[in-house]
Structure 1
Amino acid sequence: MIDFKKKLNREVSKKHVNPIDLYSELDRSSTTGPLRPTQEKVLREWNDIHRGKRDLVVKLHTGEGKTLIGLLMLQSKLNEGEGPCVYICPNKFLADQVYYEAKKFGIKVSLITENNTFPNDFIDGNAILLTYVQKIFNGKTIFGLDNQYQKVNTIVMDDAHACLDAIKQAYTVRISRRRNESMYSDIVGLFEDVLKEQGEGTFVDIQENEDYESIMLIPYWAWVDRKSEVIKLLSKDVDKDYLKFTWPLIRDEIEKCDAYLNGKEIQIIPHAFNVERFSSFHKAKQRILMSATTQDDMFFVKNLDFSIKSIIEPISCSDKKWSGEKMIIIPSLIQDDFTREKVIEYLCKFDWNKFGTCAIVPSKEKQNDYSNLYCNILDKDNIFTEITRRQDGQYGKTLVVANRYDGIDLPDDACRILILDSLPFFGSMSDIYEEKGRTECEFIRRKIAQKIEQGLGRSVRGEKDYCCIFIIGADLVKFIMSSETRNYFSPQTRKQIEIGLSIVEMSDDGSEKKESYLMDLIKQSVLRDDGWKEYYKSEMEKVESDKTISNQAMLIMEKQSEQFFINSKYEESALIIQNFLDSEKLREEDKGWYLQEIARRKYMISRIEADKFQSAAFEKNRQLLKPAREIVYQPFSGINASRANNIQKIFQKYETYDELILQVNDVLDNLSFGVQAEKFERAMDCIGKLLGFDCQRPDKMIRKGPDNLWKIGHDKYIMIECKSEVKDSRRYIYKSEVGQMENHCGWFEEVYHDASVLRIIAIVTNNVAPDANFSHKVVILRKKNLRKLKSNIKKFVQEFKNYDIKHITESVIDSALNKNFLSEQNIWEDYVEELRRE
């Protein structure tokens, strides 16, 4: 072999360390060009100012080349002799994409071998190791745990927000009822008594319905007391897939875990996550997180142990306020008739052959609404194959993905029409439980806003990319429209929503519109209407930077308290929370939440103290765990205000009719069979109040009695047992459900004696099982009559469209109630039907 270097008349230069110089020397593909100005600016700032700092966040618009920036940073470190280096992607699919990107730019990357071992060129610091988050964060990771770990100098984590969910899953044990029936049954049986105390009705529903999604938390006191039995049960399955990758992380700290269940599975999740165990990440000399400008990075402080300074002072390019074009269309605001169902049916009937369309929905249940239309339903088995085909230009049917707000890219013609359908759900039961217990909490709302923004970004992946985005689903429209929640979005997204609202205003000419009106808007975007492009650009140039970030005090408190909890310093952990409660002004539900957190810690020290704090927590927030002591029920008072007066007070809470109808649409949307029980029951409570009745939820208040109770007159009541999660195919009302209703009837008679009551089960069938019998008169609210009730309620509210919502007289309200068949007699008689027995 000829050594050409000997022929050089100068000393061979060392490898470039400056990433900008390094790029110019790479053996790149001819299709690659020079670095973009944004990339140069970020790389220069990193090299000149931040090269030696431990924690960094690189925050750029989508499509500005974060992948290449991260690879060049790592290559620079290798050239400096500071290896090994790792580049982490959110999933294997994206890791494959980055692999080909690196090859295109001439950057040497290596992969973990098929034998699950490290390649030598990674260990020797000669190549960047490219992997995905699940490979590093699991209990049997080849990177090692604690003090037995693979040393890494620098780590880049791409799309870090998407990686956070995967890290949480690494700690989560999922015991499927169908695949692990014996283990599921054994654990439920172990805690059956305390679960019934927390809510016998919910527990019965979980036992009877495998698809029941509403969750229960096993009380921490029972979990701690029976940890030995739990360990003994789980240890039998340590070699099974559902447990083996998680067991090493939790086996010695079961008492510090929480356990949740629904009809489908049990989830066991640490109460506080200890990322320090993954030492390759935690002890890396430099950790660089890649983040989009639309995301709130304060979650990195608590979950990845990043410094607050790294979040407040990210490496970014402030010259550009926005990137990409999004025409946000909210059909229900353009015209009431543009319902979710109608928009889906209209958009999905076309065979799009010049570009792709995609719908993102929060759940498989919502995904099923597309199954009878001309759509391609994606699941875990076909999603990446179909996404690749779409990226390669194979269009046609609308792709429908469930709960995929990150981790998939559909740039340019791969997606010109995006349907963002309904409010995102949380996947983790711990997040679902926190959402239920803290519905108005800033962090919960920020997490939801973050998921929405991730969804909005799936189809616009670069500066010149563009897309029509349809926002449908009453809950999602309400969240985006609300002045309280809209502020949780980034300035760029807020301005895009404002442009969407201006489209609504420009369309309000008083004429009735057909679905073709929506197609006209699509054409203006897709066919590149000059007027639209200029209008969008002029409005987006008005975006103002927003330096506001999440509640730092709350995040720091939670992080410090959890660190003490992890280290078994329970008194110190509780004191951190107590000091925060003493110093901060919080909503009652948040106070209750943190009092339960104190009780959780106190139980490790003093059970008497824990019970006091748990009782105080439950008094402030009835969504939390019911304490062991008996809770006293407070019956309705004897005097009712008039229905019209009650309705007046509700209307006066809203500034405008538009705010009112948004709330009503959201409530009515949740009052549908197939919706999770908690949301359905909450909606039933809201509807009762909207109709002017006094309402309670006894099952939530004291864990006894019916789901909903309305007082509709003097000594006159309606009690409702809700079975919203029962499948349409259900033939009978089961014996267990009959027994449950009978118990509630007995409770009502014990409390209200001989009062007149209409006993209703809201369920899809009116057939009673052959082995079941009611001893009380019970009637049924089925789908057809529920739709009729909802329709009449909406018409009732629409009566006030042209009124000053704060000054409507009682006589006008009474007239509207009677006109729309919502009188007391109508409610008592018109929406229910008799039981049947085959």
Structure 2
Amino acid sequence: MIDFTKKMRQTEIKKGDNPIEIYAALDRTSLAGPLRGSQEEVLTKWYTEKIDERDVIIKLHTGEGKTLIGLLVLMTKLNKGDGPCVYICPNKYLVEQVCKEATKFGIPICTIGENNQLPNEFLASKRILITHVQKMFNGKTIFGTGNTSEKIGAIVFDDAHACLDAIRDAFVISIKRNEEKELYEKIFELFEDDLSEQGEGTLWDIKNNEDYDSIMMIPYWAWIEKKSQVLELLAKSKDKNCITFVWSLIKNSVENCQAFIKGNEIQIMPLVAPINMFGCFTNAKYRILMSATTQDDSFFVKVLGISINAIKEPIINEKLKWSGEKMILIPSLISQEFTRHSIIEYLGQMTYKFGAIALTPTWKKQEDYCEFGCIPIDKSNIYQEMNNLQRGDYGTGKLRVLVNRYDGIDLPDNACRILILDSLPFSTNMSDVYEEKARSKSHLIQKKIAQKIEQGLGRSVRSEKDYSCIILIGSELVSFIRSSLTRELFSNQTQKQIEIGLQVSEWAKEDGKELTIKETASLMNQCLKRDNGWKAYYESEMNRIEVAEKNREDELEILSLEQKAENMFLQKKYDEAANVIQSILDTIKCDKSDKGWYLQMKAHYMYHSSKIESQKLQRAAFESNFEMLKPRDGVTYKKMENINLNRIQNIIKNIQKFKSFDELMLEINRINECLSFGVTADKFEAAVGELGILLGYVSQRPDKSIRKGPDNLWGMGNNYYVMFECKSEVSLGRKEIYKSEVGQMNNHCGWFDKEYPDAHVLRIMIIPTNCVAYDADFTHDVKILRKNSLNQLKKNVINFFKELKEYDLNCLEERFIHNCLKMHDLDNESIIDKYVENPKIQKHQ
């Protein structure tokens, strides 16, 4: 045998370190052609401008071949002697795909086998390790933690935003009530009194209903004071699956954790995720993050500690402004009759000769599709079903319904030609849910929501020539993408696609005729059947995208300051951490909700050094934002002014806050959609409050603002009130009102009698059943509002506001409003009498 390498000059056998030359020399299969122009451009930029920079972000359009780019970057690092190198996927499912791609291109790779050991070829820098984020980021990781962490030369994150969520989840202990009932109940009992002070009603819901989504934060002062008991409970259960992979990460810093509780789960996580425990990442020589062009990378600063310079100066292919074709349809903007339910019913009954997907944020919303024979997707069938779609096996042709899968699932070409994006997304991490509720109008929170929406929009169009029809339903989602304030949070590409969708909605109404759902569905066919006019219009509009650099200085400054405060906190420099938070309050323009958020953060930090100062700050936080923790020494209730009420004038003033009739109806539809059984308690109660204001009444939420009293209180004038106890999360199949629910209502009736001793009041419980348990009795005259009557009220509200369609909203007459209220059974007398019924008292059998 001839050793040809010996016949070559020494300089000629040196491994290449130029990624383009490396690719040319690979033993590729016949399926692997030359590099695309966009791949060459990105790789050349990295090699000539960024190869020696530690943190690099590479932003690519879908279908530009980011997997190969990431692998070639790691090959370059291997050849330069900068290994070991690892390629991180956001889930197991994508590891297999990346391995197939690497094999096709002839790139030397390895994976972690059944022995759960790091391969020698990886450790010796001979091959690139392909694995998933959960394998590296867990408390028992084979990559080691702290000082025992493996030394990594270069690490590439594929879909860095999805990886980021998984990394944060690595620090979360999730205790499911149905799996770890004893542990759940012991922690609940430990903090029950503390939680009761934060809201008796919500605590009752959590205690008595496993399917309630109401969330409470355990007060940080109670958590810190009872840390020893918590530590003992967790330590005894440290071998349980819900704890064992997190335990080593938090066991020495339990007091620095925060905890949240709902009916079926308790979550415990560090207030500040100690990412530095994963030295394999934080100490890696080179960190390359692959990101979609539609995603904002600012949040990498805070959690991953990525340099601001990397975020400001990513590598992008400037020649390609957009990729793929998305026809966005918004049925509710074409006709008010096209509600979320009507679209689900119409599309859910159909069968398709290609993949059709609905993406919902919750399991409860997934259930809305099941009555039409749609296929619910969960962890037991997701990989099988997704593989079937990618192979072209569409089964029965019914719609498949995913829950909270906004990333990590790729459905190119016929695997998904119709995508329904159903309702506004939100997180499953309770800390995020709490923050979203507390700071819903915050720029940073809205940006996170916008990113989730963009991730969802990207599931079905996976290449430059791919196309899909995307239907947006759910009033909150439609309001979010329609608002000019939140639309600017999307990428330039998505903003243009939304703009096209809004224009299509207007054109669909041009002749003034009300379209049927079937006629509206014909618009979908213009995309699906490749109408030349649509294709030309879409391309023409997308080519007009103006790539404008967005000013992110403020948000990057905030995130950097938050990271600085968190690092101070981890170092137990509590006063310094509090001072950094104060600098945010001093230098950044904050609304009241953000101000309350940062004051509570500062109060939490200060609790370790001054409990008195901490409680002063906590009071200020609560006064700025009622979603914050109620201070230990309580709050004072401010009574409602409800004597001289001019209801008609109030209605007109509220209507005139809207710029147009269409904008008004969007808000009415949003409120009506939230007034449905199955909606989370907080959203439902907020909608009751908003409805009261739109109907001209004075409206309060005592349980929210002082954590006592009824969920909602309306003042109707002349010292007459309506108080509501809302049970929106009670199952529609429930047979009776429980004794504990009756007791809760009785307590709130007593609260009202104390606060308003001389007032007249209608006491309403909103609940699906009117049968009272045999062992329960109301102490006051209580009425019941059930589903059918609630739906009738919502219908009447819609029809009342529809009367304004042909009128100038700025020139409404009081007599006209008065007559419309009467006509649609919304006058005071009808509100009191028309919608409620007496409870049925069951006799003991």
From 515, 523, 531, give the equivalent of 2:525: 523
Mean alpha-carbon deviation: is it higher for 343-352 or for 597-606?
343-352
| Counterpart for residue 286 of structure 1 | 286
Say whether residues 1:400 and 2:404 are aligned partners: no
- 4+ runs of 1 displaced by more than 6 Å? none
Residues 1:414 and 1:10: Cα distance change in structure 2 (over 3 Å): same
* Structure 1 position 728, deviation (Å): 1.2
Distance 2:288 2:318 in 1: 19
Q: What residue identity is the alignment partner of 2:350? A: F
Say whether residues 1:572 and 2:573 are aligned partners: no
* Structure 1 position 729, deviation (Å): 1.6
| Counterpart for residue 457 of structure 2 | 456
Residues 1:10 and 1:574: Cα distance change in structure 2 (over 3 Å): closer
Distance 2:313 2:188 in 1: 48
Alignment of 1:338-377 (within 5 A): 338-353=338-353, 355-377=354-376
Q: What residue identity is the alignment partner of 1:683? A: A
Provide Cα deviations, 1:78-101, integer angstroms capped at 9, x if missing partner: 112221000000000011110111
* Structure 1 position 651, deviation (Å): 1.5
Q: What residue identity is the alignment partner of 2:757? A: H
From 715, 723, 730, give the equivalent of 2:727: 723
Distance 2:16 2:61 in 1: 28
* Structure 1 position 553, deviation (Å): 2.2
Alignment of 1:142-541 (within 5 A): 142-353=142-353, 355-395=354-394, 396-508=397-509, 509-541=511-543
Determine helix, strand or coil for the equivalent of 1:64: coil
| Counterpart for residue 50 of structure 1 | 50
Q: What residue identity is the alignment partner of 1:72? A: L
Q: What residue identity is the alignment partner of 1:361? A: T
Q: What residue identity is the alignment partner of 1:386? A: E
* Structure 1 position 2, deviation (Å): 4.5
CA contact (8 A) 1:296 1:549 kept: no
Q: What residue identity is the alignment partner of 1:775? A: T
Distance 2:498 2:810 in 1: 27
CA contact (8 A) 1:495 1:543 kept: yes
CA contact (8 A) 1:711 1:717 kept: yes
Determine helix, strand or coil for the equivalent of 1:695: strand
Distance 1:10 1:599 in 2: 66
CA contact (8 A) 1:770 1:837 kept: yes
Distance 1:306 1:94 in 2: 24
CA contact (8 A) 2:300 2:306 kept: yes
Distance 1:486 1:352 in 2: 32
* Structure 1 position 657, deviation (Å): 1.4
Q: What residue identity is the alignment partner of 1:145? A: T
CA contact (8 A) 2:420 2:470 kept: yes
Determine helix, strand or coil for the equivalent of 1:369: helix
Q: What residue identity is the alignment partner of 1:533? A: K
Q: What residue identity is the alignment partner of 1:83? A: G
CA contact (8 A) 1:655 1:806 kept: no
* Structure 1 position 800, deviation (Å): 1.2
Determine helix, strand or coil for the equivalent of 1:191: helix
Mean alpha-carbon deviation: is it higher for 635-644 or for 135-144?
635-644
* Structure 1 position 113, deviation (Å): 2.0
| Counterpart for residue 739 of structure 1 | 743
Say whether residues 1:84 and 2:88 are aligned partners: no
Provide Cα deviations, 1:580-601, integer angstroms capped at 9, x if missing partner: 2122221111111111111101
Distance 2:569 2:434 in 1: 20
* Structure 1 position 125, deviation (Å): 0.4
Q: What residue identity is the alignment partner of 2:421? A: L
Q: What residue identity is the alignment partner of 1:514? A: T
Distance 1:106 1:61 in 2: 24
Determine helix, strand or coil for the equivalent of 2:764: strand
Determine helix, strand or coil for the equivalent of 2:481: helix
Alignment of 1:40-119 (within 5 A): 40-119=40-119
CA contact (8 A) 2:642 2:717 kept: no
Distance 1:552 1:2 in 2: 60
Determine helix, strand or coil for the equivalent of 1:806: helix
* Structure 1 position 450, deviation (Å): 0.4
Q: What residue identity is the alignment partner of 1:49? A: E
CA contact (8 A) 1:617 1:624 kept: yes
CA contact (8 A) 2:5 2:13 kept: no
Distance 1:487 1:819 in 2: 41
Q: What residue identity is the alignment partner of 1:535? A: Y
* Structure 1 position 512, deviation (Å): 2.4
The alignment covers a number of residue pairs equal to 837
Distance 2:377 2:288 in 1: 33
Determine helix, strand or coil for the equivalent of 2:81: coil
* Structure 1 position 7, deviation (Å): 5.5
Residues 1:518 and 1:542: Cα distance change in structure 2 (over 3 Å): same
Determine helix, strand or coil for the equivalent of 1:272: coil
Say whether residues 1:693 and 2:697 are aligned partners: yes
Alignment of 1:680-829 (within 5 A): 680-829=684-833
* Structure 1 position 12, deviation (Å): 4.6
Residues 1:101 and 1:773: Cα distance change in structure 2 (over 3 Å): same
Could you state the TM-score of these two structures normalised by the residue count of structure 1?
Answer: 0.99
Determine helix, strand or coil for the equivalent of 1:168: helix
What fraction of aligned residue pairs are identical, expressed as a percent? 54
| Counterpart for residue 618 of structure 1 | 622
Residues 1:118 and 1:647: Cα distance change in structure 2 (over 3 Å): same
Determine helix, strand or coil for the equivalent of 2:688: helix
Q: What residue identity is the alignment partner of 2:513? A: S
Determine helix, strand or coil for the equivalent of 1:28: coil
Residues 1:806 and 1:506: Cα distance change in structure 2 (over 3 Å): same
Q: What residue identity is the alignment partner of 1:423? A: L
* Structure 1 position 131, deviation (Å): 0.4
CA contact (8 A) 2:15 2:79 kept: yes
Q: What residue identity is the alignment partner of 1:677? A: A
Distance 1:770 1:514 in 2: 49
Q: What residue identity is the alignment partner of 1:424? A: P
Determine helix, strand or coil for the equivalent of 1:222: helix
Provide Cα deviations, 1:150-179, integer angstroms capped at 9, x if missing partner: 010000001000111111110000011110
Residues 1:375 and 1:4: Cα distance change in structure 2 (over 3 Å): same
How large is the Cα RMSD of the aligned pairs?
Answer: 1.2
CA contact (8 A) 1:640 1:694 kept: no
CA contact (8 A) 1:412 1:465 kept: yes
CA contact (8 A) 1:781 1:832 kept: yes
Provide Cα deviations, 1:603-650, integer angstroms capped at 9, x if missing partner: 111111111000111111111100011311110124333111111221
From 546, 553, 557, give the equivalent of 1:553: 557
Structure 2: where are the runs of 5+ without partners?
none
Determine helix, strand or coil for the equivalent of 2:174: strand
Distance 1:501 1:85 in 2: 46
Distance 1:309 1:85 in 2: 23
Q: What residue identity is the alignment partner of 1:169? A: D
Residues 1:10 and 1:610: Cα distance change in structure 2 (over 3 Å): closer
CA contact (8 A) 2:642 2:698 kept: no
Distance 1:651 1:483 in 2: 20
Residues 1:145 and 1:769: Cα distance change in structure 2 (over 3 Å): same
CA contact (8 A) 2:645 2:717 kept: no
| Counterpart for residue 654 of structure 1 | 658
* Structure 1 position 337, deviation (Å): 1.5
Distance 2:478 2:264 in 1: 29
From 595, 606, 626, give the equivalent of 2:610: 606
Distance 2:338 2:66 in 1: 39
* Structure 1 position 515, deviation (Å): 2.1
Distance 2:335 2:156 in 1: 47
Determine helix, strand or coil for the equivalent of 1:712: strand
| Counterpart for residue 135 of structure 2 | 135
Distance 2:525 2:589 in 1: 50
Q: What residue identity is the alignment partner of 1:385? A: Q
* Structure 1 position 5, deviation (Å): 3.6
Provide Cα deviations, 1:429-470, integer angstroms capped at 9, x if missing partner: 001111111110011101111000000000000100000000
